Amino acid sequence: MMANYQFNSDNGAPICPAVMDALISCNTGVETAYGADHYTERLNAVYTDIFEREAFVFPVPTGTAGNGLALGALTPSYGTIFCHRQAHLVTTECGAPEFYSGGCRLTLLGGEHNKVTPGALEQSISAHGVGNVHHMAASTLSFAQATEAGVTYSPEEIAALTKIARQAGMKTHMDGARFANALVYLGVSPAEMSWKCGVDILTFGTTKNGTMNAEAVITFDTNIARTLRFMHKRAGHLFSKMRYMSAQLLSYVENDLWLINAKAANSNTSRIAKALGRCEGVRIVHPVHINELFVAMPDTLQAELQAVGITLRPWQVDANTQGYRIVTTFCDDPDLIGQLEQVCELHKRTTGNDRLDSLSLR
């Protein structure tokens, strides 16, 4: 059984009150089943408005289902997906892309902060070969926004990657498990962070930011949408009582709730990063862009935090370092964060140190 870690995961956050209200509100009367209800029928129009282009929305219960379904729609059984070797779909999804595609493979790339770089992608595609019948077909580029290290791609970086993919005849998938957190950090529009820079399909994550088991696959391509309609059903994701997922996906974006929640979560991580960054011996491993922080710290500081009830989740923060992963949510207790700041301030005074690492904070 896992220990009770503080700042363990945004997956453990409760449902946002506004989303819970929407669930209760939709729980009246009889609706047509299997996605023909009034809530699900509104999804495409609402998300089309948000993304400034016709969008086709397919609700799914988990991010693994979303990634698998999206990649299966783009990648044939004889195809390969180019992605970072630390991508969630590689390390933590039990072969879902291979399963949904009927047997594809993954071509793994390196890159600092778990980011795919244009150079690495070009080199890998060249080495793999395009159109060589003896190799798996180069089919799809997949990347996470933000990455598993909590670092974002700028729209310009995304456009550079999708251009390379497109020149090789490949489609592009974005794993947007923390799409909202990346969006508010970058200060761009959903369109500017997706289809305008060449993304064909998006796994749109919401569970980490206020919903309950409600994610979505969103595509901007009519042909891909036609394929998804059948795959969505065959994979068992066309729920009979779809309104309960769709009501959440509607309330999530109403009145900018998703952006407000993401800003709160990002801000909580920034506070913690600044407090820890002033302590001697602390190393922030990756730039702090969203609501994830990867940190190495002295045992003395870790013990001081634990003494006041703040136990952090151990994490292999780089190849040679056992540190901690801190993930904040939109509803973290401000007193708990304040307590961590007080411990850090006391530790700083005790060690006679006052420094602030050069972090990418906003």
Question: Using one digit for the tens of pLDDT, what is the confidence trace for 278-331?
Answer: 999 999 999 999 999 999 999 999 999 999 999 999 999 988 889 999 999 999
pLDDT single digits (tens) 227-268: 999 999 999 999 999 999 999 999 999 999 999 999 999 999
pLDDT of residue 2: 57
Residue 103 pLDDT more than 90?
yes
Mean pLDDT of the chain: 95
Rounded CA-CA distance 74/93 in Å is 18
* pLDDT for residue 362: 40
Residue with tokens 């390969």: 80
Q: How large is the average pLDDT for residues 91-109?
A: 96
Residue 57 has pLDDT above 90, yes or no: yes
Residue range 100-117: average pLDDT? 97
**What phi and psi values does residue 287 have, to the nearest 5 degrees?**
-55, 145
CATH of domain 259-351: 3.90.1150.10
Distance between CA atoms of 222 and 319, rounded to whole angstroms? 42
- Tens-place pLDDT, residues 333-346: 999 999 999 999 99
Q: What does the pLDDT read at residue 4? A: 87
Domain pair 16-257 / 259-351, same fold: no
Q: What is the pLDDT of residue 355?
A: 52
Mean pLDDT of the 126-134 span: 93
pLDDT at 351: 76
Instruction: Check whether 193 has a pLDDT greater than 50.
Output: yes
Q: Letter for the amino acid at 134?
A: H
Would you call the peptide bond into 144 cis, given omega within 30 degrees of 0 as the criterion? no
pLDDT at position 359 is 41
Q: Specify whether the CB–CB gap between 208 and 179 falls below 8 A.
A: no
DSSP 286-343: S---SSEEEEE--HHHHHHHHHTT--PEEEEEETTEEEEEEE--TT--HHHHHHHHHH
pLDDT at 76 over 70: yes
How much is the pTM?
0.94
Task: Give the per-residue pLDDT at 360.
Answer: 41
Q: Identify the CATH number of the domain defined by range 16-257.
A: 3.40.640.10
Sorted by where each begins, the domain ranges of the chain are 16-257, 259-351
